[in-house]
Amino acid sequence: MAITKTATKGIRPLEQKDIGQVSTLFLESFRNKKQSEDCLNQYFREIYLEHPLRDPEIPSLVFENSGIIEGFIGVTLGKMLFRGEPVTAAVSSAFVVKADASGNRNPLTGISLLREFLGGKQDLSVADAANETTRQLWTKSGGAIAYPYSFTWTRPLQPLQAMLELDAVPSTLHRYAKPGAWLGDQVATQIPPIKPRRPDCRVEDIDSAVLLDLWSTLPKQSLVPDYDLNSLQWLIDKACESETEGPLAMRVVRSQKGKALGWYVYFRKRNSIGRVLQIAAFPGSMDVVLDCLIHEAHGEGLAALRGRAEPDHLYVFNKRFCAFQGRPWCLVHSPDPDIVNAFQSADVFFSGFDGELWMKVNA
């Protein structure tokens, strides 16, 4: 469904002078985020005003009223190919509306910002870490839900520690539960199915150039990212700035004869949830690649692994005792219904580097 572009009073492109107000608004709205305001100012400036693919004609937007920023929607751009033709994808993030003294937020501010964004010059609009409020506003504005990409998988490695990390145990009880969780996991992690299988393969570190080479030889769906080395390296560098998730590991999986089977990129921190930003495999090899990831993360002492579900490989993940959960929502909009249909029919390669999941504010 097309969005008619109409200028809305109070909505304008983000400027340097707005960054401080936007950071304050974000921290007020997401009180669980632990970034300092100064660090967030710099981060927002870099990703929304200095992104290597930034286009002034598809900007981040603010809703201003008498000098006060009352709403914001961040926009970053990515290059994609749809059936071989170039597509400009605009990814929304940090979508916030200021609360009044009673804690209420004006829905008209949010829907005005969103419709202004969806009416932009991009070929595709995406939000892939959306909450329920954003889902409602998005669909009311003519957007669609990409159900195949709206599921998350979790693979417990230390099941009791994972429960603590996922807040399945009240935070007030964490200090008392941790010793028992550690002891219980020492037993649980040695018993199948929690104990991972040892794959017969080789795992090696890779850099962004090798990842790009691997990507170039992977069989493609109808809609795929159009990576180049500079923008991919920028995304990886920004992902590495997450202060709470540990180092970002990038690995290629090879057969004993040296044939590339696939690769994975994930955050690695002992006793924590390792977020998987990208996992990919050549035909028939996802089971081995996933086994290598699980085996490595288990050896590093992670509590669990978590990532966006891979629609073509749900059976493989299920067989490796991964649990699936709906949300966050993946939302799409395009004037070309075939692009929307590609998302809804799982004919897209769409990883954490292609939406907003690489951002540290989503940690």
Cα 346 to Cα 95, 172, 219, 271, distances in angstroms = 26, 41, 15, 33
Q: Which residues contact 147 (CB under 8 A, 6 or more apart)?
A: 330, 344
**pLDDT for position 82:** 98
DSSP state of 141: T
pLDDT at 87 over 70: yes
DSSP state of 99: B
Mean pLDDT within 56-64: 97
**pLDDT for position 325:** 92
What is the tens place of the pLDDT at every residue in 114-141?
999 999 999 999 999 999 999 999 999 9
Helix (H, G, I), strand (E, B) or coil at 115: helix
**pLDDT for position 7:** 43
**C-alpha span between 98 and 27 (Å, rounded):** 11
pLDDT at 60 over 50: yes
Q: pTM for this one?
A: 0.89
pLDDT at 307 over 70: yes
**Domains, the chain, ranges and CATH?**
11-149 (3.40.630.30), 152-326 (3.40.630.30)
What is the tens place of the pLDDT at every residue in 28-45?
887 655 667 888 999 999
pLDDT at 287 over 60: yes
Contact 26, 96 (CB under 8 A): yes
Beta strand extents in the chain (DSSP E only): 11-13, 61-65, 68-82, 85-97, 124-130, 144-145, 151-156, 202-205, 223-225, 248-254, 260-267, 273-281, 304-308, 323-326, 329-333
**pLDDT for position 27:** 92
Contact 98, 27 (CB under 8 A): no
Read off the tokens for 295: 């085996």
CB atoms within 10 A of CB 310: 23
**C-alpha span between 320 and 31 (Å, rounded):** 35
**pLDDT for position 105:** 86
